[in-house]
Amino acid sequence: MLKTNFQVSEEYLRRALSSLEALEGRNGKGNEFLGWLDLPEATPSFLIDECEQVASLWREMGVQVVVVIGIGGSYLGAKASIEALRHAFEEDVNPGKMRVVFAGHNLSEEYHAELLDFIEDKNVACVVISKSGTTTEPAVAFRLVKEHIEKKYPAQEACRRIVAVTDAASGALKSLSTQKGYKTFVIPGDVGGRFSVLTPVGLLPIILAGYDIREMMKGACDMARRCREKNYDNPAVRYAAARNELYASGKKIEILVNFNPKLQYVGEWWKQLYGESEGKDGKGIFPAAVNFTTDLHSMGQYIQGGERILFETVVSVKHPKRELVIGHDAQNLDELNFLAGKHLDECNKMAELGTRLAHIDGGVPNLQVEMDTIDEYNLGELFFFFEKACGISGYMLDVNPFDQPDVETYKKNMFALLDKPKYEEASKAIRLRLKD
Which of the residues are catalytic? 276, 297, 411
334 binds its own copies (CB under 8 A): yes
For position 77 contacting its own copies by CB under 8 A, the verdict is no
Q: Quick check: 57 binds its own copies (CB under 8 A)? A: no
Q: Which among 2-10, 52-60, 207-215, 325-333 is the span making contact with its own copies, rule CB under 8 A?
A: 325-333
- Min separation Cβ 271 and its own copies, Å: 6
Please identify, among the stretches 1-9, 27-35, 130-138, 213-221, the one whose residues bind its own copies according to the rule CB under 8 A.
130-138
Is 339 among the residues that bind its own copies (CB under 8 A)? Answer: yes
Which residues, 184 to 223, sit near its own copies by CB under 8 A?
193-194
Q: Please, are residues 76 and 272 in contact by the beta-carbon 8 Å criterion?
A: yes
Residues 226-255 close enough to bind its own copies by CB under 8 A: 252-253
Q: How far is the CB of 141 from its own copies (least distance, A)?
A: 9
Residues near 350 by beta carbon (within 8 Å), at least 6 away in sequence:
none
- Which residues share a beta bridge with 99? 65
Contacts of its own copies in 376-405 (CB under 8 A): 404-405
Smallest CA-to-CA distance from 185 within 137, 129, 237 is with 129
The site for its own copies, by CB under 8 A, has a size of 135
- 65: which strand partners? 99, 124
Among the residue ranges 8-16, 26-34, 143-151, 159-167, the one whose residues contact its own copies (CB under 8 A):
143-151
Examine residue 259 and tell whether it contacts its own copies (CB under 8 A).
Answer: yes
Binding residue (CB under 8 A) for its own copies from 139, 186, 215, 370: 139
The one segment of 27-35, 37-45, 49-57, 287-295 that binds its own copies by CB under 8 A: 287-295
What is the closest distance, in whole angstroms, from the C-beta atom of residue 222 to its own copies in the complex? 24
Footprint of its own copies on residues 96-115 (CB under 8 A)? Answer: 101, 105-115
346/413 Cα distance (integer angstroms): 52
CB of 17 to its own copies, least distance (A): 26
Smallest distance from its own copies to CB 212, Å: 18
Q: How far is the CB of 228 from its own copies (least distance, A)?
A: 27
Touching its own copies, residues 152-181 (CB under 8 A): 172-173, 175-176
Name residue 127's amino acid.
Answer: V
Task: Single out the segment in contact with its own copies by CB under 8 A; choices: 3-11, 209-217, 299-307, 385-393.
Answer: 299-307
29, 47, 288, 368: residue in contact with its own copies (rule CB under 8 A): 288
